[in-house]
Every structure is written in structure tokens, then in C-alpha cells.
Amino acid sequence: MSRFTFALFPEQASTVAAGVDHVFYFLLGISAFFTLLIAGLIAVFMVRFRRRSPDGIGIPVRPSLALEAAWTGIPLGIVMIIFFWGASIFATMQHPPADAVPINVVGKQWMWKLQHMDGRREINELHIPVGRPVKLTMTSEDVIHSFFVPAFRTKQDVVPGRYTRTWFQATKVGTYHLFCAEYCGTIHSGMIGQVVVMEAADYEQWLSGSTPGGPADLPPAAAGEVVFDQQGCPSCHRGDASGSGPSLAGLFGRSVRLSDGTTVVADEEYIRESILDPGAKVVAGYQPIMPTYQGLLSEEAIMQLIAYIKSLGAT
């Protein structure tokens, strides 16, 4: 059933939507209250304390410490409520559950390209199960985009050269708008899509409806292995650490010691940088002889390589 119906506010269709709306309504109410209060006081003071004769002299007003403390303390208290309330929701939105369904997203002028971990691909459409958290790992091939699903109250910039993440858990089956909320070029307004929330059984059936048969249909880790072999990476990165490059087995999430004596955690950003700018962080004990793959690999291929490296257990 389509959810594309007119409403003053988007439908609440995720676990965080109500919380975001409550903060918004609180801000709206506070703004309206003080706007009316200040406007009303201005009108009252204009009438009550108007100058009644050309030679009238105003009466000096004695400062009130209690009044000054009140108009300082009350706004401070309100601002702190807003801060901690908003920060708690923001913190929740920044930490996806460990069991979240991972999906890779690449923004490109002017479309969204998505891939599920079983290999199923989509363009400008995302199918997800209801009641399960979904984590998106996103990057851009060209300019800054912004992944925005109003019904989920989710908006996250998608930036070239780095990975950003967002997550949500849909609470209602239906079809919801997907927009790019960052001006990204002449057809920015056409960079739209939809998120299709399905019952768990229907989602599994939809996933199994793919037709494997080529690298484009492989799961990201398997497709990454294909790219890894095609680029000749095994000649240097051998499982027994006997190659001219470090072994990648069990690398992801591990602390890596660099040639300058510092350490870095081998996360997605580090692996991506090592592929595109291998001389930036050289592993201790190895020479900076790896060529750059800048311009040779697409963002999708890089994400597939990272998925493959993640899948490599320690030997």
C-alpha cells in the first residue's frame, strides 16, 4: 500500500521518528510562546508607558537582581533541556545496533546505487524488512549528496572520499519517499527514489528473487575477491605474510603499526586510503612500493574490496 499521500507532516515510520518530532514540537512551542510573550509585552509597554506629554520625564527604574537572574536562568534551563534531549536522540541515531542489516550505498549524479550483502542491487529503490534495524554505509562518486527519508526522520550527507553511515528501523510496511537533500547539480530535483518496507517473509522472498550469474550479482565480499584477483593483489598480499605487502588476513578492526611509529585502526577509511593513496600510511617493516588505484577502481569496487578484506579471518 502506497504511503504517498498528502499530510502536513510526514508519516512517522521509524523508531526514532516520534522522538525527533517531539523535539521539533517542543522547539516550535517554545518559539511560539516567547514570540507571543515578547510581542504582547511590547504592545502593553507601548500603551502603558507611552509618553503622555511633550515635557514628560520618565521615572528611573531600579535594577532587580531577581528579575535578571530569572531572565538568564529560565532561558538557560530551556536551552539545556533542548541540548540534552536532542543530543540523546542524536547519539541513538549515530550508533546502529550490532545486528543491523548492512547495505552499501553509492551516490552518483543523479541516482542512488545500493547493494545488499547477498549481492542484490538496486537503483533509486531500497527494499528493507519491517522491524529490523538497517545500517547504510555510504559514499559518493562525484559531489556531496544527502540521503533523506522524511518518514524515517533520517538525513545523512554522502561525501566523496569518505564513508558516512546512518541507520533506521522501519515500523510500518509501506513505500516512502527517498530524496537527495543536498543540491548536487542540474538534475538534483530528479534524484529521488523510494524505500519499500516489507514484511520479513516478503523481504526474504524478494532477496531470493535475484538471478546470480556474474560478478555484478555476487555478494560484495565475493565480488571483492574477484576484483582482488583481477588487480593482481595476491602477488603481494599473501596469506602467509611472505609477500612484499602485509598479509590482510584478520586485518579489519586490528591496530596496525606504521613506519613512523604510530598506530592506526584498520577500519573502512584506512583500507580505502591504503588503496587510493598507499603512501599515506605505510605499515612498519614494508616499503612504499604499492601503486595507487586512484581512478582505476570505482567506489563500488572499493567497497567490495573492503567487504572482502573484512571477510578474511586470521590464519
| pLDDT for residue 11 is more than 60 | yes
Q: 226 and 206 share a domain?
A: no
| pLDDT for residue 124 is more than 80 | yes
Q: 130 and 242 share a domain?
A: no
Q: 116 and 164 share a domain?
A: yes
Residue 51 lies inside a defined structural domain of this protein: no
Structure confidence at residue 260 (pLDDT): 86
Q: 261 and 179 share a domain?
A: no
Q: Which long-range contacts (CB under 8 A, 24 or more apart) does 109-114 make?
A: 109/142, 109/143, 109/184, 109/185, 109/187, 109/191, 110/180, 110/184, 110/185, 110/187, 110/188, 110/190, 110/191, 111/191, 111/193, 112/147, 112/178, 112/180, 112/191, 112/193, 113/300
Q: Could you tell me the maximum CA-CA distance found in the chain, to the nearest angstrom?
A: 98
Average pLDDT of the residues in 107-128 = 92
What CATH number corresponds to the domain at position 290?
1.10.760.10
| pLDDT for residue 191 is more than 80 | yes
Q: 261 and 189 share a domain?
A: no
State the pLDDT confidence band at 6, using cuts at 50, 70 and 90.
low
Q: 189 and 224 share a domain?
A: no
Q: 118 and 247 share a domain?
A: no
Residue 233 lies inside a defined structural domain of this protein: yes
The percentage of residues in the chain with a pLDDT greater than 90, rounded to a whole number, is 51
Determine the structural domain holding residue 155 and report its residue range: 1-45+67-210
Q: 186 and 300 share a domain?
A: no
Residue 293 lies inside a defined structural domain of this protein: yes
pTM of the model as a whole: 0.79
Q: 121 and 247 share a domain?
A: no
Q: 81 and 120 share a domain?
A: yes
Q: What total of structural domains would you count in the chain? A: 2
Q: 180 and 245 share a domain?
A: no
| pLDDT for residue 23 is more than 50 | yes
Q: 231 and 297 share a domain?
A: yes
What CATH number corresponds to the domain at position 152?
2.60.40.420
